[in-house]
Structure 1
């Protein structure tokens, strides 16, 4: 599974499928795909910033097997763009694609029905919660128990922290100053020596930071 699939599983309500942080969801999902490409060594940042954040550049390599990653990579490869611009360009239409993948893997059910015999609504309840629970357990172990994160868990926490959605996880974490501090450290790319090399962590941190900037901007604008 891709990071963006695990991330959306965590964000979706298990009963209805409604995602936490819906207002900034495209940016969060786009960030997850860019981080995945960073972990694969297929994107890097130039260090040159601007209004739309650090510019992201494509790194050549073997063709990407996953169509979702391949499509995102091709967008990056067109020309260097700011992180924040890419977040929306990549994540703007991801919701339906990722939901379809989760349904196809038997992790989510799609239930359609009519309300009052007139209005059709769709619910997306969890169908198999084992993977989601395992992911939650790893997140809790890192943030609450102080365990050393593996690369993907560190990336997920960074993205959740940047999006502001960590408090929405169910069951809720035991929030404390150390937990909040640890989440922010991971958001900033301090993933530990055993996780990833410095270049990948730097790229992922730049993406997560831009996700946070966008989230704050969107929330402020719509409030």
Structure 2
């Protein structure tokens, strides 16, 4: 299993405290892909730039697709640029893969809400492996789940039931996690700004 797959399982398992937001989760999944690609030396970071390498192709088809979509011309793209480009609807892609592979049972038509009444994970070695990784408080998985808002605000150590924010020793991994956290907060800021603008627009119409 890969880190993105483990993260999706954690998000869907319903024990992390709250439903996953699809946008935040997609950004975290894109970050998880970079981290796994770093682990197999398919990429390296030059500052915050994602520099492709030339290792064997990853076994996982989604991770292989991620590797094939890397920008291979200088100045390459930043981690932030990767998150927004690769992360677009990425949670949908992983859900589709899970369903195709028989890892989900669909209980209603709305596949994307992540609520237990809509879809459920089947019991599988992949699920048990992700749960074991989660219950051991593996630092990268915990950091990604926290950044995705599964415990409230990104990296909110005071959130009830949240594990302590993990200490990440690898500088490249820490750079990716920081970029994920920043992107999630930017996404939330955009949503709040749009909500305020929509409310102001509604108030104008009420006053006419």
| Cα pair 1:164 1:212 within 8 Å, conserved | no
Is 1:68 paired with 2:62? yes
Runs in 1 of length 4+ with deviation above 4 angstroms?
Answer: none
Q: How far apart, in 2, do the equivalents of 1:90 and 1:30 lie?
A: 6
- What runs of 5+ residues in structure 1 fail to find an aligned partner? 48-53, 114-120, 143-152, 191-200
2:28 corresponding residue in structure 1: 28
Say how many residue pairs are matched: 177
1:50 corresponding residue in structure 2: none
| Cα pair 1:13 1:20 within 8 Å, conserved | no
Post-superposition Cα deviations, 1:149-208, rounded to whole Å, max 9, x if no partner, equal: xxxx3321221233232459xxxx9747xx42xx242xxx23xxxxxxxxxx22221111
1:96 corresponding residue in structure 2: 92
Q: Report the CA distance between 1:101 and its aligned residue.
A: 2.4
Q: How far apart, in 1, do the equivalents of 2:107 and 2:21 lie?
A: 22
CA 1:65–1:175 in 2, change beyond 3 Å: closer, same or farther?
Answer: closer
TM-score scaled by length of structure 1: 0.67
Q: Match of 2:51, SS?
A: strand
Q: How far apart, in 2, do the equivalents of 1:23 and 1:61 lie?
A: 30
Is 1:106 paired with 2:91? no
1:158 corresponding residue in structure 2: 143
TM-score scaled by length of structure 2: 0.71
| Cα pair 1:106 1:128 within 8 Å, conserved | no
| Cα pair 2:143 2:177 within 8 Å, conserved | yes
RMSD: 2.9
Is 1:206 paired with 2:175? yes
| Cα pair 1:161 1:184 within 8 Å, conserved | no
2:187 corresponding residue in structure 1: 218
